[in-house]
């Protein structure tokens, strides 16, 4: 999806796509980073909500999960902090009963100056998290990460050590880095972790010079892309197959061969 500063329009798009995915058989739906708002920095402070209590944004997502008996992962949710000028970039797992099951706060913050002139300082308004989070879903243990985390493989090792068989990477990956690194990094994390990787994504122009790469996708533990979105709004859907995980981890037991 292409989120902007229009929160209501973003939510309508996100929840409509979620409904479509559920109609298509999805029992768990992952929304991208910044799904409710991707606009000028000051706007995110006004819409941030306390967790797990929530507010209007979280309530609408919880209501949908409960009504459709489906789990949701809100890929990048602005969580209120005591500082009115800082939020947390949270990844929120809602179970099929509409309860907040787990919350991961993004550990690695994106502070870069890109060749196209884009300058991003996530740490200026975001408080980093520190906890590695694995949550229980209907299909098994799901590791939670967000966007820039994908460049830090040690986090994914820690998630595997906590039992993850699939890992989320909801993102608003820039076009500049995404066109060269998105597929490579996601496939690498899947291969080395021997987990499914579920990567929801922002796509297109949001505001100013901010443009996201898109290509939401799902990788299997062999690193094969089993579903991928083309340009524009849509969703990728695939099954988490425990037999595939077991076969790959048995045939190539690299996780058991670790020395460090």
Q: Hey, which residues are catalytic here?
A: 33, 106, 147
Rounded to whole angstroms, the Cα distance separating 10 from 4 reads 7
- Cα–Cα distance, 242 to 194 (Å, whole number): 11
Query: Among candidates 55, 72, 172, which has minimal Cα distance to 122?
Result: 172
Longest dimension (CA), the chain: 51
Give Cα 183 distance to the centre of its chain: 15
Going across the sheet that includes 196-199, the strands are: 134-137, 140-144, 166-168, 196-199, 217-219, 225-228
CA distance 140 to 147: 22
- DSSP H stretches of helix in the chain: 7-23, 43-47, 56-68, 153-161, 175-193, 242-251
- Torsion over CA: 175, 210, 132, 136 (sign): negative
β pairing state of 119-121 and 111-113: antiparallel
Q: How far apart are CA 232 and CA 228, in angstroms?
A: 12
What residues contact residue 162 under an 8 Å CB cut-off, 6+ apart? 132, 134, 141, 143
């Amino acid at each position: 999806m292409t989120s902007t500063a229009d929160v209501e329009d973003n939510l309508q798009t996100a929840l409509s796509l979620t409904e479509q995915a559920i109609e298509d058989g999805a029992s768990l739906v992952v929304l991208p980073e910044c799904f409710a708002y991707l606009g000028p920095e000051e706007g995110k402070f006004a819409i941030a909500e306390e967790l797990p209590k929530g507010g209007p944004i979280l309530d609408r997502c919880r209501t949908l999960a409960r009504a459709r008996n489906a789990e949701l992962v809100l890929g990048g949710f602005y969580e209120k902090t005591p500082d009115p000028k800082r939020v947390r970039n949270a990844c929120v797992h809602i179970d099929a009963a509409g309860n907040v099951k787990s919350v991961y706060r993004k550990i690695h913050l994106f502070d870069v100056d890109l060749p196209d002139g884009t300058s991003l300082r996530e740490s200026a308004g975001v408080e980093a998290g520190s906890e590695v989070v694995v949550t229980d879903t209907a299909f098994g243990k799901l590791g939670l990460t967000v966007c820039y985390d994908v460049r830090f493989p040690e986090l994914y090792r820690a998630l595997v050590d906590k039992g993850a068989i699939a890992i989320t990477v909801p993102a608003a990956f820039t076009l500049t880095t995404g066109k060269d690194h998105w597929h490579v990094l996601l496939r690498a994390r899947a291969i080395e972790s021997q987990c499914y990787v579920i990567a929801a994504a922002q796509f297109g122009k949001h505001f100013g010079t901010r443009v996201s790469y898109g290509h939401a996708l799902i990788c299997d533990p062999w690193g094969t892309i089993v579903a991928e979105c083309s340009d524009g709004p849509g969703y990728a859907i695939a099954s988490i197959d425990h037999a595939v995980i077991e076969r790959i981890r048995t045939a190539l037991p690299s996780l058991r061969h670790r020395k460090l």
